[in-house]
Amino acid sequence: MSAARLNPLDTAHNTALSILVDGGLCALFLAVGILALVARAAMQTHGPIRVALVTALLVWAITSLVATVEENRNTWLLFAMIAFAGRLAVEEPERMAACFEADAGRGEIGLSPEPVV
């Protein structure tokens, strides 16, 4: 909110509104584009990892309606993890599936026997 010269405690309490005030329409379109790419990456995953990533993204979206979270480090960490998981799901789906399939006998997470490079 530095562009509006407001007190840092007097924020928009909405991420989209805060981005719009600070950066204008260009910044808002860029933020929406980043969010669309992150959502696409989350949808490229499968199984329980997709459920976890989409749930985390939905929690972030609901939080962004009532808080200003675009400058929060956790936002960018979440986006980076989702983007990484989506990329890994596309490039190495067998290895990713092996990491998240449950062992039917014991209910433990099964890991592939080959070492990860």
The string of pLDDT tens digits covering residues 24-59 is: 999 999 999 999 999 999 999 988 899 999 999 999
Tell me the pLDDT tens digit for each residue of 75-87: 999 999 999 999 9
**Structure tokens given for 54:** 């989409």
Q: What pTM does this model have?
A: 0.71
| 110 DSSP 8-state letter | P
Tell me the pLDDT tens digit for each residue of 86-113: 999 999 888 887 777 654 444 455 555 5
Please name the residues in contact with 42: beta carbons below 8 A apart, sequence gap of 6 or more. 50, 53, 54, 57, 82, 85, 86
pLDDT at 99: 77
CA proximity to 53, closest of 90, 32, 80: 80
